[in-house]
């Protein structure tokens, strides 16, 4: 891959996009493009078309999405469905019609059926019902995967989809109403430590989650950028998971919270387990490197250093 090739990173200020930008910059890629949502509304087809006509990127990495946890998805189903469809459809179609050489679409493990066998293989896509608490986001991402597959099949273009497991790290969303499980827990334990209070967490604590540091995800994107992958869809994860209770105690210890943990079993657990089978991408040459304990420590250090500027409300 020519390091002067023009690469557009959609969502470059978000957690994933900023990690990809850092990784590429560190490797010497010198022609990166990023546009803030104020400068380019990815939901607006006319603006996206104009952007492609003016900038003519050779590579597009789609790290832009409307994301959130169980509560946010439950309260705003239309928002999560429609805005994600608009963003990815405009980017995929714009890339197709403006001769983009490589397109990397980023999705989520929630595209797989709720009760699919574990670990989740790429072949399980569309073999069963989705988890109701995030099906709107999942349906949008499935549409993106299939659009990239269709372009690859019909026009033989290098469009590839990477489906990460649960991501965390610098520039995550720590708002308690819209964040995912790890940053929400980290924020709760930090606030409880400051106020000398117990921590209340949703559900039973028994579901299992696989967690991937965003810097490892960025390295997977770089790998997909620098190699021609033979298939259209790849899982990205560690291949290991922990229970929500185990995760809570790990975060509690790292934060230094001394109080009790109260579990509200009246709240939903979400999918029982979402362990990814990452053998396909591992066999191509990529593997995760950051263990969970180290990754959480890194994330909490970043949180402490950036409390005044962290993203606190993704739906505002």
- Cα–Cα distance measured from residue 143 to residue 294, given in angstroms and rounded to the nearest whole number: 35
Confidence (pLDDT) at 274: 83
Sign of the C-alpha dihedral computed for residues 112, 116, 122 and 128 taken in this order? negative
Give the chain's mean pLDDT.
94
Helix 244-255 to helix 292-305 angle (10° resolution) is 50
Contacts of 195 (CB under 8 A, 6+ apart): none
Residue 91: name the closest of 29, 173, 10 by CA.
10
Residue position matching structure tokens 């608490």: 133
Q: What is the CA radius of gyration of the chain?
A: 19
Query: Within its chain, how far is the Cα of 267 from the centroid?
Result: 24
- Structure confidence by residue, pLDDT tens digits, 26-42: 999 999 999 999 999 99
Domain boundaries, the chain: 7-305
124 catalytic? Reply is no
**What are the binding residues for substrate?**
188, 202, 209, 269
Confidence (pLDDT) at 178: 72
**What are the binding residues?**
11-17, 106-109, 141, 164-167, 180, 188, 202, 209, 269
The answer to whether residue 144 scores a pLDDT higher than 60 is yes
Which uninterrupted H or E stretch holds 25?
helix 15-26
Of 315 and 73, the structure prediction assigns the larger pLDDT to 73
Distances in Å between the Cα of 297 and the Cα atoms of 22, 46, 240, 250, 255 are 19, 43, 18, 10, 8
Split at pLDDT 50, 70, 90, the class of 311 is low
Confidence (pLDDT) at 71: 77
Which uninterrupted H or E stretch holds 223?
helix 214-226
Is 7-305 a CATH 3.30.1330.90 domain? no
Tokens, residue 265: 């079993």
Average pLDDT over residues 264-271: 84
Split at pLDDT 50, 70, 90, the class of 312 is low
73, 179 Cβ separation under 8 angstroms? no
Confidence (pLDDT) at 242: 97
Considering the candidates 8, 29, 112, 137, report the single residue annotated as catalytic.
137
pTM assigned to the model: 0.92
**What are the binding residues for NADP(+)?**
11-17, 106-109, 141, 164-167, 180
Residue position matching structure tokens 């189903």: 77
């Amino acid at each position: 891959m020519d390091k002067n090739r023009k690469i557009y990173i959609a969502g470059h200020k978000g957690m994933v996009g900023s990690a990809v930008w850092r990784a590429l910059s560190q490797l010497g890629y010198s022609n990166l493009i990023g546009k803030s949502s104020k400068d380019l509304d990815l939901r607006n087809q006319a603006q996206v078309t104009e952007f492609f006509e003016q900038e003519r990127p050779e590579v597009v990495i789609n790290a832009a999405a409307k994301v959130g946890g169980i509560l946010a998805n439950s309260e705003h189903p239309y928002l999560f469905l429609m805005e994600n469809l608009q963003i990815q459809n405009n980017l995929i179609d714009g890339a197709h019609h403006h001769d983009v050489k490589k397109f990397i679409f980023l999705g989520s493990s929630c595209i797989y059926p709720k009760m699919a066998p574990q670990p989740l293989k790429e072949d399980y896509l569309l073999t069963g019902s989705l988890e109701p608490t995030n099906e709107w986001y999942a349906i949008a991402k499935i549409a993106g995967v299939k659009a990239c597959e269709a372009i690859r099949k019909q026009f033989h273009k290098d469009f590839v989809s990477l489906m990460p497991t649960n991501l965390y790290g610098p520039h995550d969303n720590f708002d308690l109403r819209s964040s995912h499980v790890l940053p929400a827990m980290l924020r709760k334990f930090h606030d409880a430590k400051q106020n000398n209070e117990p921590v209340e967490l949703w559900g039973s604590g028994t579901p299992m989650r696989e967690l991937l540091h965003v810097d490892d995800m960025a390295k997977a994107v770089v790998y997909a950028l620098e190699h021609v992958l033979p298939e259209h869809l790849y899982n990205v994860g560690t291949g290991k998971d922990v229970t929500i209770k185990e995760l809570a105690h790990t975060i509690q210890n790292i934060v230094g919270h001394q109080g009790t943990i109260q579990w509200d079993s009246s709240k939903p657990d979400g999918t029982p387990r979402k362990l990814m089978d990452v053998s396909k991408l591992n066999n191509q040459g990529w593997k995760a490197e950051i263990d969970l304990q180290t990754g959480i420590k890194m994330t909490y250090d970043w949180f402490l250093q950036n409390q005044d500027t962290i993203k606190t409300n993704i739906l505002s």
